[in-house]
């Protein structure tokens, strides 16, 4: 299994999924971390020179169309789980439709969120979607 955590710097979870400059990507086997890489966010519209429509750069907010977040889906295609501190509902829905287990957390530290996820105690705060 591979888990991606939206991050500012590898230690702190980004407050907004699409504006995250990086994703810390963890390889998990037997519920243990066996590898980690940092993936620069070059696939979010925010980082590909797209116009910022409010705070949702895809310009398809609320459309329910998985194509509106295609670049994010493709950029995280090898990840099963995606953890963020906050995100828009349309991104959450589109990535879930693409088979991702989307987690929105109150945790602020990547390591804490990952440890809690692996322990089965990470609370999914879907109520924080905007």
Report pLDDT for 27. 98
| Per-residue model confidence as pLDDT tens digits over 25-49 | 999 999 999 999 999 988 766 554 4
| Per-residue model confidence as pLDDT tens digits over 85-117 | 999 898 899 999 999 999 999 999 999 999 999
Where does the pLDDT of residue 67 fall: very low under 50, low under 70, confident under 90, or very high at 90 and above?
very low
Report pLDDT for 19. 85
DSSP assignment of 53-111:
-TT-TTS-TT---GGGGHHHHHHTTT-SEEEES---HHHHHHHHHTT-EEEE-S--BHH
3-state secondary structure of 21: coil
Average pLDDT (55-63) is: 41
3-state secondary structure of 12: strand
CATH label, 2-128, candidates 3.40.50.300, 3.30.413.10, 3.40.109.10, 3.30.420.130: 3.30.420.130
Where does the pLDDT of residue 54 fall: very low under 50, low under 70, confident under 90, or very high at 90 and above?
very low
Domain ranges for the chain: 2-128
To the nearest whole number, what is the mean pLDDT of the chain? 84
């Amino acid at each position: 299994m591979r888990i991606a955590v939206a991050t500012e710097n590898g230690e702190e979870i980004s407050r907004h999924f699409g504006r995250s400059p990086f994703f810390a990507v963890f390889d998990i086997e037997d519920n243990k971390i066996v590898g980690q890489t940092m993936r620069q966010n070059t696939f979010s519209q925010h980082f590909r020179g797209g116009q910022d429509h409010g705070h949702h750069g895809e310009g398809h907010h609320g459309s329910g169309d998985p194509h509106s977040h295609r670049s994010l889906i493709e950029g995280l295609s090898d990840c099963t789980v995606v953890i963020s501190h906050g995100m828009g509902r349309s991104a959450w829905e589109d990535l879930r439709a693409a088979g991702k287990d989307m987690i929105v957390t109150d945790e602020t530290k990547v390591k804490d969120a990952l440890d809690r996820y692996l322990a089965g105690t990470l609370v999914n705060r879907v109520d924080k979607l905007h």
